[in-house]
Homo-oligomer: A and B are copies of this chain.
């Protein structure tokens, strides 16, 4: 679960990290009010869960409250990478001397957290990693210990931070690691962490990504979820415990298991088709879940054919068939469907689907080829 900038920074502040004064606004007049309270120049920042807001004009400087109101109006009318802007953060403007990057992330390979820092802040760290890898400092951390002073000093020295800021930097790095640990984050980053022209460290922008699997430990954080920021079909999928990612193609896929679902997509592509989505119904899905999955696929207007690939283990093929039939009862559809059911109760599943107008396949390659052919046939007609 991604947090908005304002949510991340609120958490940072809780852990003793200095952030600019500021508040979030849902309307332009609210934005004006906040700008008036803050006085002086403010930054109006769109709150959407994508990177690169600055480049698209989603972050603007206002010299006074009136300008802040204008800019808020403009920004809240925007869509950034497809996402409508519903909130803006009004922050007091800072005079920046230097921009630094500081983050904590999971290191899969080392199986522990890693603190990442760079003197090149303000741009995405992936960008720095690509163009100036030598500018990135990495330090593995012990997940059972708090950050030690010497660890922060090592980082501070490596990014050539002036020595008089080391102690403040320690507090910030310590707080960031605490924030990461205490929220079960996958990522906690300050970018940029700036040195202001009066020589203070300030977390100007921040981002946190939380581990969805750990949210049960943090009920208070689950409440921060912004439902508006999910595509409606992805939200529906999540509520049913389905794993769904919308893609640009036209062959809808319904598969049990993530690896098999990805291979199904790969095989569609291999035979000249384009998958419309990734969809994993998980292990042991019942008819209701299957039905919901099929309805989500059917609601995508791009879909020209549907491939159902189920390898029954815990999942029973007859349950899958029942779910498919129930969805088709609700939503009539002429879209060609190819079903390939193998494993537990495979006979029962086939028997049920025999009544419907479904193309069957014996292998995955066979199924994919039939799906691609069905799309071509549809296009030709």
Min Cβ gap A25→B in Å is 41
With both beta carbons as reference points, the residue of chain B lying nearest to A144 in the complex is identified as B144
A357 proximal to B (CB < 8 A): no
Residues of B contacting A144 with CB < 8 Å? 142, 144-145
In the bound complex, how far is the Cα of B145 from the Cα of A235, in angstroms?
Answer: 36
Complex-state Cα separation, A61 to B66, whole angstroms: 75
Interface size class of A (residues with CB under 8 A): under 10
Write the A143-155 contact mask toward B (1 if CB under 8 angstroms, else 0): 0110000000000
Distance, CA A136 to CA B134, complexed state (A): 57
Expressed in whole angstroms, the Cα–Cα distance for A145 and B145 within the complex equals 9
Instruction: Give Cα A144 to B141, complex, Å.
Output: 14
Quote the shortest CB–CB distance from A140 to chain B (angstroms): 16
Measured in the bound complex, the distance between the Cα atoms of B142 and A142 in whole Å is 14
A144 to B143, CA, bound (A): 9
The distance in angstroms between the C-alpha atoms of A195 and B142, with both chains bound, is: 40
| Interchain nearest-CB distance for A111 vs B (Å) | 16
Which B residues are CB-close (under 8 A) to A145? 144
CB-nearest residue of chain B relative to A142?
Answer: B144
Taken together as a complex, chains A and B put the C-alpha atoms of A144 and B142 apart, in Å, by 10
| A143 nearest in chain B by CB position | B144
**Residue ID in chain B nearest A145 by CB atoms:** B144
Nearest CB of B to A149, in Å: 14
A242 to nearest B CB, angstroms? 32
The CA of A142 and the CA of B145, in the complex, are separated in Å by 12
Could you tell me the distance between the alpha carbons of A145 and B142 in the complex, rounded to whole angstroms?
12
Across the interface, which residues of B come within 8 angstroms of A142, CB to CB? 144
CB distance from A362 to the nearest CB of B (A): 48
Contacts of A118-159 to chain B: CB distance below 8 A: 142, 144-145
A144 to B144, CA, bound (A): 6
Task: Tell me the minimal C-beta distance from A206 to chain B in angstroms.
Answer: 28
3 contacts between A and B (CB under 8 A): A142-B144, A144-B144, A144-B145
A interface residues with partner B (beta carbon < 8 Å): 142, 144-145
Q: Which 3 pairs between the two chains have the least Cβ-Cβ distance?
A: A144-B144, A144-B145, A142-B144
